[in-house]
Amino acid sequence: MEPILILNKVSFKYKASWNLKSVDLRTYEGEILGVLGPNGSGKSTLLKVMDGVLQPQQGEVILRNRPLTSLRRTDVAREIAMVAQENFFRFSFSALEVVLMGRFPRLKRLQFEGEKDMEIALNALKATHSLHLWSRSIHEISGGEKQRVLLARTLAQEPKMILLDEPTSFLDLRHKRDIFRLISSLSGERKLGVVLVSHDMDLVAQYAHRIVMIKDGLILHEGSPEDVLTAENIEAVYECPVFVDTNPATGKPRVNLSP
């Protein structure tokens, strides 16, 4: 299968020391790639490099055979949509306005959103169970509601790949499950490529097709959930004792903290 995005020996640093070190990675249509790693390991940095927000000092990022650096932001945005970890809105936009912003890369110059864009935005709100929030200010909804609205914005963008940076960190159990199921159906039905940073290891084990585990900017492990989520790997990367058994409902590895 043709990759969507290829990272070739990508290294990035904010200041003196490297925060990503010679990362080789590919993403594919219809695949959910889980990204795990402790706080500060470089997960958000990796996603920003994949989205072209940050440009690596070494190596290259290739989107559909073209270097990311040669593409305009709107060209990238038609292929890749991201929900960043921090999201700040200067103005008190409504949830619907925020989702309509996802249509921007799809519009022609100086064109306003039309009926079709509105329909796509409303469908995206529906898909993330946030239609009832449409008129609410993005400043006045809960963290979990905001995460769902931001996911709706990426859907409205109609990209080939979505990059999600801890999209369920503020969500309760039901909404976590809903979002993972939605991500899973998007990758299955729309063949969307998904890169998912999350600390919900059991959900990642259940839904990701492939997992990379990073520490100090290095990919230390890559493979199936069964291959990557071993007690040995997790203890070494997270410096925390765990035991891993099998989730009886899913047959996938289940990570438990040792007492």
Which residues of the shown chain bind ligand ADP in the complex (CB under 6 A)?
A: 14-15, 19, 37, 39-45
Pairwise CA distance, residues 230 & 245, whole Å: 9
Least distance (Å) between residue 58 CB and Mg ion: 21
Least distance (Å) between residue 165 CB and Mg ion: 6
Q: At residue 11, what are phi and psi to the nearest 5 degrees?
A: -125, 140
**N residues, the chain:** 259
* Binding at 42: pick from ligand ADP, Mg ion, none (beta carbon under 5-8 Å per type): ligand ADP
**Closest chain position to Mg ion (CB):** 44
Q: Which residues pair with residue 8 across a beta bridge? A: 60
Comparing CB distances to Mg ion, the nearer of 85 and 184 is 85
Least distance (Å) between residue 131 CB and ligand ADP: 31
Q: Could you tell me which of 147, 133, 140 has the C-alpha nearest to residue 95?
A: 133
Comparing CB distances to Mg ion, the nearer of 19 and 130 is 19
Q: Could you tell me which of 146, 152, 187, 186 has the C-alpha nearest to residue 169?
A: 146
Instruction: Give the HSE-up count for residue 236: Cα atoms under 13 Å, Cβ half-sphere.
Output: 12
Pairwise CA distance, residues 40 & 43, whole Å: 7
Q: How many CB atoms lie within 10 A of CB 2?
A: 9
Comparing CB distances to Mg ion, the nearer of 30 and 38 is 38
Least distance (Å) between residue 44 CB and Mg ion: 3
* Binding at 187: pick from Mg ion, ligand ADP, none (beta carbon under 5-8 Å per type): none
Comparing CB distances to ligand ADP, the nearer of 18 and 93 is 18
Least distance (Å) between residue 13 CB and ligand ADP: 8
Q: Which residues pair with residue 96 across a beta bridge? A: none
Contact 138, 94 (CB under 8 A): yes
* Binding at 15: pick from ligand ADP, Mg ion, none (beta carbon under 5-8 Å per type): ligand ADP
* Binding at 128: pick from Mg ion, ligand ADP, none (beta carbon under 5-8 Å per type): none
Pairwise CA distance, residues 71 & 19, whole Å: 24
* Binding at 14: pick from Mg ion, ligand ADP, none (beta carbon under 5-8 Å per type): ligand ADP
Question: What is the x/- site pattern for Mg ion, positions 78-97, by CB under 5 A?
Answer: -------x------------
* Binding at 19: pick from Mg ion, ligand ADP, none (beta carbon under 5-8 Å per type): ligand ADP
* Binding to Mg ion, residues 8-67 (CB under 5 A): 43-44
Pairwise CA distance, residues 229 & 226, whole Å: 6
Comparing CB distances to ligand ADP, the nearer of 42 and 105 is 42
Instruction: Give the HSE-up count for residue 109: Cα atoms under 13 Å, Cβ half-sphere.
Output: 0
Pairwise CA distance, residues 4 & 32, whole Å: 13
Contacts to Mg ion by CB under 5 A? 43-44, 85
